[in-house]
């Protein structure tokens, strides 16, 4: 290979997760392949292009295990809403997209991700009323121009949101119920035919953009539609991705409709396997986790959107301990506000601390290794498992911290006087303040004079 195809990265520091170090390292690249990694001064062809990485950390690209490209044009379009309110708003947020819109969705999302270290993603892309080869190609072109590898999974269903939740239409006022009943997705047969056409006609570079299938949510899909997607995936060797037990509404509705959990129902349909990724998994029980592990499935953990939408915290540690392949995703920008994987990892670590007080079970830097696996490759059967770090020793912190009293105090015994009111003693002022604020005072501190309160605070009582 000619020297013009070579590049050498010098003066950088290579991230070593297992060793908790970042030694000075040079990297030689031949074409699109890392040819050698070595100490500074690594031999390179004399005409190789030199990339100065001084003051830079070198690390493998991150993989965003779950996102929605169409959400990149919908940032900030909603705030205080649950998943169900977001799904209800979906048609007006994501509808009427042109091919240029779909291209820009891929480009903007790709740029948002690559600037924070993400080089591959798994995108569940929505088109209405049917997925199209042209729309998928437009999004792939956007991702390609941004420099990302992508698995594009048309997100499909044969039931609307209003049909999916048992009793929802019946609970609506009659006029509104008639309106939502008119909203229909494409028939299952038409959607499956469109998917077959996309898979068979795909001509994209398999190393840059692959196709998968994403029947969106079990409740939004008939059993025949789910098994149709299963059979299509098996026929063409593509992956499957589905939102699974993301919200309490979904979990409860699944038991009402199927008489079992959503995961148990998918397992009975033969849908779970090594090519399956379930997104979220917030409301999985231990039996569900065991099913996913035993079938070799993966779960994409999306702590940012789960907190943003109030869905809950996924039992990610239990999944990992049971052997479920675990990745981290940002989810769509319309429900997580960004596509920053470092923020997603940080939130995953913090979320694990909410569900348990044993610091040894909290997620740590080993989660980085979970994302370097090929979550966007559609072939998780070959992905190595992340090695857990040894428990980190932490210095014991005393429970008696030094805190100042947070409540403002009057400087004199007769202060906080309102215009036209007689002076009130301090005790009466504090009672009035407590009644107005509805915030309890610390019982041992409330009657102390000012100098005693300051001493009280310094002693941490």
What DSSP string describes 31-65?
TTEEEEEESTT----TTPEEEE-TT-EE-PPEEEE
DSSP 411: S
- Compute the C-alpha angle 338/374/386, nearest 5°: 95
Q: What are phi and psi of 2, to 5 degrees?
A: -65, 155
Residue 260 in tokens = 């079992």
> pLDDT (tens digit, 9 = 90+) per residue, 18-42?
888 999 999 999 988 899 999 999 9
| CA atoms within 13 Å, Cβ hemisphere of 264 | 13
Least Cα distance to 222 among 251, 265, 255 occurs for 265
> pLDDT (tens digit, 9 = 90+) per residue, 81-137?
899 988 888 877 887 889 999 999 999 999 999 998 999 999 999 999 999 999 999
Distance of CA 46 to the CA centre of its chain: 44
The pTM for the full model equals 0.77
The whole-angstrom separation of Cα 377 and Cα 363 is: 24
Residue 149 in tokens = 């590898």
| Confidence at residue 440, expressed as pLDDT on a 0 to 100 scale | 41
**Exposed (0-12), middle (13-18) or buried (19+): which is 332, by Cβ within 10 Å?**
buried
The whole-angstrom separation of Cα 215 and Cα 231 is: 12
| Confidence at residue 365, expressed as pLDDT on a 0 to 100 scale | 55
Relative to beta strand 240-244, strand 276-280 is: parallel
What angle separates helix 188-201 from helix 223-236, to the nearest 10 degrees? Answer: 10
Distance of CA 42 to the CA centre of its chain: 38
Q: In this structure, what is the dihedral angle of CA atoms 224, 226, 227, 228, given to the nearest 10 degrees?
A: 80
Q: What are phi and psi of 116, to 5 degrees?
A: -115, 25
The whole-angstrom separation of Cα 425 and Cα 448 is: 13
Residue 111 gets the label, from left (phi > 0), alpha (psi -120 to 50) or beta, of alpha
| Confidence at residue 206, expressed as pLDDT on a 0 to 100 scale | 87
The whole-angstrom separation of Cα 35 and Cα 155 is: 38
- Compute the C-alpha angle 60/371/395, nearest 5°: 95
Least Cα distance to 251 among 169, 329, 166 occurs for 166
The whole-angstrom separation of Cα 125 and Cα 152 is: 7
Long-range contacts of 188-191 (CB under 8 A, 24+ apart): 188/158, 188/222, 188/224, 188/225, 188/228, 190/130, 191/130, 191/131, 191/156, 191/157, 191/158, 191/225
Reported as type and span, the H/E element at residue 449 is none
The whole-angstrom separation of Cα 48 and Cα 103 is: 34
| Confidence at residue 260, expressed as pLDDT on a 0 to 100 scale | 97
Q: What are phi and psi of 130, to 5 degrees?
A: -135, 150
In which residue ranges of the chain is pLDDT below 50? 1-4, 368, 370-449, 451-461
Relative to beta strand 209-211, strand 149-156 is: parallel
Residue 59 in tokens = 């690390």
| Confidence at residue 426, expressed as pLDDT on a 0 to 100 scale | 45
Q: Which structural domains are found in the chain, ordered by start?
A: 3-58 (2.30.40.10), 62-382 (3.20.20.140)
């Amino acid at each position: 290979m000619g020297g013009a195809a070579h590049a050498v990265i010098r003066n950088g520091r290579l991230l070593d997760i297992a060793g908790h170090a970042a030694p000075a390292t040079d990297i030689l690249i031949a074409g699109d392949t890392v040819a050698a990694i070595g100490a500074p001064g690594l031999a390179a062809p004399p005409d190789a292009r030199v990339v100065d990485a001084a003051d830079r950390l070198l690390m493998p690209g991150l993989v965003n295990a779950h996102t929605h490209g169409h959400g990149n044009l919908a940032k900030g379009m909603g705030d205080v809403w649950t998943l169900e309110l977001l799904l209800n708003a979906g048609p007006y947020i994501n509808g009427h997209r042109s091919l240029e819109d779909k291209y820009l969705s891929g480009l903007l999302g790709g740029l948002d991700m690559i600037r924070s270290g993400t080089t591959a993603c798994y995108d569940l892309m929505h088109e209405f009323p049917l997925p199209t080869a042209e729309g998928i190609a437009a999004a792939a072109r956007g991702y390609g121009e941004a420099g990302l590898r992508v698995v594009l999974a048309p997100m499909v269903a044969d039931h609307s949101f209003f049909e999916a939740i048992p009793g929802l239409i019946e609970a609506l006022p009659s006029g509104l119920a008639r309106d939502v009943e008119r909203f229909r997705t494409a028939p299952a047969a038409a959607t499956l035919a469109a998917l077959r056409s996309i898979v068979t006609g795909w001509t994209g570079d398999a190393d840059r953009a692959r196709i998968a299938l994403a029947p969106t949510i079990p409740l939004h899909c008939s059993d025949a539609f789910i098994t149709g997607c299963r059979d299509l995936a098996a026929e063409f060797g593509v992956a499957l991705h589905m939102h699974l037990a993301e919200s309490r509404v979904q979990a409860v509705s699944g038991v009402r409709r199927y008489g079992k959990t959503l995961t148990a129902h998918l397992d009975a349909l033969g849908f779970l396997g090594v090519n399956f990724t379930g997104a979220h998994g917030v409301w999985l029980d231990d039996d569900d986790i065991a099913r996913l592990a035993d079938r070799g499935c993966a779960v994409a953990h999306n702590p940012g959107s789960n907190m943003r939408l109030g869905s809950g915290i996924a039992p990610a540690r239990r999944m990992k301990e049971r052997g479920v392949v675990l990745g981290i995703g940002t989810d769509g920008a319309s429900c997580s506000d960004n596509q920053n994987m470092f923020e997603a990892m940080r939130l995953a670590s913090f979320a694990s601390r909410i569900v348990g007080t044993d610091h040894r079970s909290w997620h740590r830097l080993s989660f980085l290794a979970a994302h370097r696996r090929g979550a966007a490759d559609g072939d998780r059967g070959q992905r190595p498992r992340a090695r857990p770090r040894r428990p980190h020793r932490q210095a014991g912190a005393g429970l008696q911290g030094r805190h100042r009293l947070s409540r403002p105090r009057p400087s004199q015994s007769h202060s906080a006087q309102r215009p036209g009111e007689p002076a009130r003693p301090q005790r009466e002022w504090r009672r009035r303040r407590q009644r107005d604020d509805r915030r309890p005072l610390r019982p041992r501190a409330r009657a102390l004079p000012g100098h005693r309160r300051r001493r009280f605070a310094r002693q941490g009582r």
